[in-house]
Amino acid sequence: MSAALSELVAKALSAAPGLDGRDAALRLAQFIAEDTSRLTTLVEHLAPQLTASAGDLRIRGTQLLANVLKAVDRENPSSVPLARVLPIVQIELLVAFFIDRLRDLPCVPHVLDALTTLASETNLSKEHILSILRTMFAEVHVPTLPFGARYAALNLLLVIVQRYLGFAQTAGADFVYGLVQAIDGEKDPRNLLLAFKLHVLAIRHFPFNMFVEDLAEVVSVYFPITFSPPPNDPYGITREELVLALRDCFVVSPLLAPFLLPTILEKLASTSAKVQSLQTLTACASAFGKVGLAPFLLEIGTQLRGEMFHTGEEDVEKAILETMTAISRVISSGQDQSLFVTFMQPMIVECARHLKEPELKLAHPSASLLQAAAVASSSACEFVLLNSIPMLSEQYNAATDVTVKRANLDLLLGFLKASKSLQVTNEQHPLATYSSVLASIFQSAVSHEHPNVRCAGITGLVGLLIVQGVATAEQISSSLSTFLRLATLDLEQIVRTQATAALAVTVNAEVADLVLTSLSESLTTVTLEQAAARKQLWVILTEISNTPPLLRRTAPLFLNQLQTLLASAVAMPMDTSTTSSPSAAASSSPEQVEFEVVLESVANIVAKGASQQQEVALRPSTLAETILLPVLSLAFSLSAEPGTLGGVVSTNQSVVETLARIVRNIVCAASVQDCSSQLSTAVQTAFAALTDPTTSPIRSVDVNAATSRKILVASAVLCCGPRELVLSLQSDFAAMLPKITLLALHSPDADTRRYCCMMAGAIINHLEDQDLSKHVETALLPQLEQLLRAACTAAPATAAQDQQQRAALALWIWITKALFIRGHALGDRMVSLLLTDCVRAPLLADVAAAPSSFAQQAAESMHTILTDSEEVLSKRTRANFRIMYKQRLFTSKSALIVQGYAATDDEHKQFYLTALSHMLQNVPKQVLLTELPSLLPLLFQSLSHANVGLRLSTINSVYLLLFDAPALLASHTPTLIKHMMALSTSPDSMKLRIAALQCLGLMATALPAQATFPSRNVVVSGLAKAVDDPKRLVRVEAVKARNEWYLLVKSTKG
């Protein structure tokens, strides 16, 4: 055994330092860890080295022993601490030996290492700790040691303070003195982090009064921290870390204040580290307290003012104001306000001087400073308001010039806002004293001739109203009537909007009566012919319906009005089929206008409540409770009775879609837990509407005005509900599916066909596998595929056949989407059919007669499949889908497009390009980038294709790629420029020219200058024609693009 040991020792000693040496020590350590009695043998073996007179031999011996100790601990297989492995006697011997060796300068680094290991892994006695400290402070001059040794020394001290605090404390002030000596002049950030930690611990746990000044000085020299880590820094020390560690040293004791504050103030004035200085000052303010701050308050005040008036940087300004608040909070606390008054007096005097010229530059910074002081505490706020509000009020009343008045008002608003954020618990709010003064000022402002002043007045009144306990009941009611008056009658849109917003903020359940009574009154007096005024009233009602209690009160107003309007008699327009075109809308009756406005208001309330944003108080459950069922029954019961408004709007597509949107938004957002009763009633109603034996829209393919409406609204309920709900409907869905698909294929009405396709998709998306194979895979799909195959082999002979095939294709596309997004294998096969046979379907001989062919429709399917539809099959509408289906589609099918494009004839190439273009626009860029190089040639082909729509969508794709893959496009810059320049003067469409010019403009900034600069002159002179384009909108884009290219300069970075 001894032989094995001596061999290992010899190897370790002769190994070159560095990795080899560590390796050898490790092996040795493993050997010793197996049997710890071998450690004694090791020490005996090392005796010649440890006691050698030659320096390097001794160093090697000590280093080996230190490394082995460290490694034994780490390598110990049972991970038994060193303390239990080594007998106490041995530990004591080792410690005594190492303490003695602290005097041996060349060995000190390794000795410190070994002592650190022993101190952290074993339990040393008090005598040993004191002896280590004493010897170390007496014999080792840390600042002159190399980096590693300094680190070891600081680490040892930290271990001692953390593990043996009680023992170390008996060293008393000596420890503090020694520490100051040890960290003096340290420069390495790694060591500084240790030093700062030790500094804090020393002040917390040791008597340091004798050395306050030294302790302050030893850390203040590092302020402000200017360290910036080198690139690829392996240690990961950040400047922020150092700043915070140093700040901890500063705030640890108020006794340091007299020495640190002058440094901070001096650095604030003289360096560019303003934010760091200010943040440190902020932290110190609360740590040092009144006593610490007192002697420096005047100086601090002067500096803060100086910085505030001269800085132009937002973050510095923010830091100044934070400091101001922190200081104000400290010195305004408690009964004695004298310090605060001393501090604020000069501040008030100087700021008041600037506040007297409210339209000049320094007024705002002055106000901000005072406001920052005011938000700190109630007493501070009181003091600041006393010294500003009366003065500003007086100034406002005396001013005649609009600008001055407005500026004064802005300042007042600032003080109002500041005192608003003050948290007052049981006393009166300081603002209450001034509520009548301010209210009268704001009331006079709202009747000022200048709209901006009126807006500011509104803001002021709102401020008074929303601070608890400031405004009196009388002020509240007069403000609310002011808001109502302005919101309805003011001539300026901006004032009306602002007043409406004010009502939305200030109306709550307590004051709702007042406002609602007044609004209802207006609704009865304003006639339907005064459409704009009525619209504004509905807008106000919409805006204030922003909490559940209010919506419960306003919802009946909206819904009753809708019902009343439907029954009202109107003259039928001449031709009902054109109601959705603009010319018909222009001549719609006042009743219809009103109906649409009210319906849109409800839709807005629902959209807001269903968005589930934090700041919106409305919840889907309230919407379901108040709006869902009434709107649903309204939508189903719309009767096409001629002579009433119901007859007109029941076929108006935009009205029908709005109704469906309202229902869908609520159902999508509602959860079963909160709204089970409403949801189940809604589902019953929807099913009843679809399956009623006499009125069912799906009992035959005969078209009826109500058919498409009922299907759309019913699918909004049935297809978007929570998963639990949809699952419980499985059998009903399966039974309904054949009827729906029949309609999708054969209904003469295009809208009905479309809605049925979507509904079929949504149903199939949720069907269980068993039902799916029974009803879809074996029944429906073969039938559809047969129709598609027919279309793919021969061009349709008749228009009826064409329509039939198109309908089959549309249904196929929606079913494909339904299956593909849920990750069903069928979906994959169906996409392939679309991209192979369907895209290659023969065209009609007369292409001009049918601009959108079957093949085109198949190519457009990528758009339907890849974009999120509002109605069904999206995440929002709770479709059954697996994430990343877009990526899956793209990676598995883009090859089909490339192959298909190469194999097909010229006439059909465009359809592949169209499909590709839709893919590029909808697939996340991470996936695109790998496939893109093979697709780029196709993209460039599309840019010169005759089809305008294709070119347009390709330009859009390129536009998006410029953001996502600039590096790839950069290598094709000349080609791209050639195409875009040609497109920029294309006579085919101005939209093309605009898009191409926007793309060119983006290229100048998105692509690297090395790629674009060589073409600069070509583009600049080429665009000369585009800037003289006959169309204004084109010229605008041409000018933008050309100027971007002019701005290009030769890249200096090469």
- What is the binding site for another protein (CB under 8 A)? 310, 312, 360-361, 989-990, 1020, 1024-1025, 1027-1028, 1030-1033, 1035-1036, 1039-1040, 1042-1044, 1046-1047, 1049
Structure tokens at 490: 């003011």
Q: Which is closer to another protein, CB of 310 or CB of 875?
A: 310
Structure tokens at 1044: 């971007």
Shortest distance (Å) from residue 241 CB to another protein: 33
Q: Which is closer to another protein, CB of 468 or CB of 1021?
A: 1021
Shortest distance (Å) from residue 956 CB to another protein: 18
Q: Are 423 and 375 in contact (CB under 8 A)?
A: no
Amino acid sitting at position 359: E
Q: Which is closer to another protein, CB of 548 or CB of 966?
A: 966
Q: Which is closer to another protein, CB of 109 or CB of 949?
A: 949
Q: Which is closer to another protein, CB of 699 or CB of 1040?
A: 1040
* 708 vs 652: CA distance, rounded Å: 11
Range 765-773, long-range pairs (CB < 8 A, 24+ positions)? 765/818, 765/819, 765/821, 765/822, 765/872, 765/873, 765/879, 765/880, 765/881, 766/719, 766/726, 766/727, 766/730, 766/733, 766/880, 767/730, 767/733, 767/734, 768/730, 771/730, 771/733, 771/734, 772/824
Shortest distance (Å) from residue 1030 CB to another protein: 4
Continuous segment of H or E residues that includes residue 738: helix 730-746
Q: Which is closer to another protein, CB of 139 or CB of 1044?
A: 1044
* 959 vs 404: CA distance, rounded Å: 48
Q: Which is closer to another protein, CB of 568 or CB of 989?
A: 989
Q: Which is closer to another protein, CB of 312 or CB of 851?
A: 312
Q: Encode burial over 15-27: b for 16+ CB neighbours within 10 A, e otherwise.
A: beeeeebeebbbb
Shortest distance (Å) from residue 1046 CB to another protein: 5
Shortest distance (Å) from residue 604 CB to another protein: 25
Shortest distance (Å) from residue 969 CB to another protein: 20
Shortest distance (Å) from residue 938 CB to another protein: 28
Closest Cα to residue 655, out of 630, 628, 634? 634
Range 497-502, long-range pairs (CB < 8 A, 24+ positions)? 498/454, 498/455, 498/458, 498/459, 499/458, 500/536, 500/539, 500/540, 500/543, 501/543, 502/458, 502/459, 502/461, 502/462
* Secondary structure in 3-state letters for 541-583: HHHHCCCHHHHHHHHHHHHHHHHHHHHCECCCCCCHHHCCCHH
* 142 vs 186: CA distance, rounded Å: 9
Q: Which is closer to another protein, CB of 403 or CB of 564?
A: 403
Q: Which is closer to another protein, CB of 797 or CB of 1049?
A: 1049
Q: Are 996 and 952 in contact (CB under 8 A)?
A: no
3-state secondary structure of 440: helix
C-alpha distances (whole Å) from 994 to each of 947, 963, 974, 999 are: 16, 18, 20, 9
Q: Are 97 and 52 in contact (CB under 8 A)?
A: no
Q: Which is closer to another protein, CB of 130 or CB of 1019?
A: 1019
* 662 vs 648: CA distance, rounded Å: 20
Shortest distance (Å) from residue 1019 CB to another protein: 12
Sign of the CA dihedral running 460, 465, 471, 476: positive
Shortest distance (Å) from residue 367 CB to another protein: 17
Shortest distance (Å) from residue 571 CB to another protein: 28
Q: Where are the alpha helices (DSSP H) in 747-798?
A: 750-766, 769-771, 781-793
Q: Which residues contact 19 (CB under 8 A, 6 or more apart)?
A: none
Shortest distance (Å) from residue 273 CB to another protein: 18
Shortest distance (Å) from residue 411 CB to another protein: 17
Q: Are 543 and 507 in contact (CB under 8 A)?
A: no
Q: Which residues contact 995 (CB under 8 A, 6 or more apart)?
A: 952, 955, 956, 959, 983
* 62 vs 50: CA distance, rounded Å: 6
CB atoms within 10 A of CB 672: 13
Shortest distance (Å) from residue 355 CB to another protein: 17
Closest Cα to residue 216, out of 170, 184, 172? 184
Q: Which residues contact 587 (CB under 8 A, 6 or more apart)?
A: 573
* 652 vs 747: CA distance, rounded Å: 19
Phi then psi for 618, rounded to 5 degrees? -70, 140
* 150 vs 143: CA distance, rounded Å: 7
Q: Which is closer to another protein, CB of 835 or CB of 1004?
A: 1004
Shortest distance (Å) from residue 1036 CB to another protein: 6
Shortest distance (Å) from residue 361 CB to another protein: 6
* 787 vs 524: CA distance, rounded Å: 59
Shortest distance (Å) from residue 761 CB to another protein: 34
Q: Report the chain's terminal Cα–Cα distance, integer Å.
A: 66
Structure tokens at 702: 């005969």
Q: Which is closer to another protein, CB of 613 or CB of 1053?
A: 1053
Rg (CA), the chain: 40
Rounding to the nearest 10 degrees, give the CA dihedral for residues 805, 807, 812, 815: -170
Q: Which is closer to another protein, CB of 961 or CB of 1034?
A: 1034
Shortest distance (Å) from residue 401 CB to another protein: 13
Q: Which is closer to another protein, CB of 1032 or CB of 1053?
A: 1032
Q: Which is closer to another protein, CB of 190 or CB of 991?
A: 991
Structure tokens at 321: 């104001």
Shortest distance (Å) from residue 317 CB to another protein: 14
Q: Which is closer to another protein, CB of 522 or CB of 1005?
A: 1005
Q: Which is closer to another protein, CB of 363 or CB of 740?
A: 363
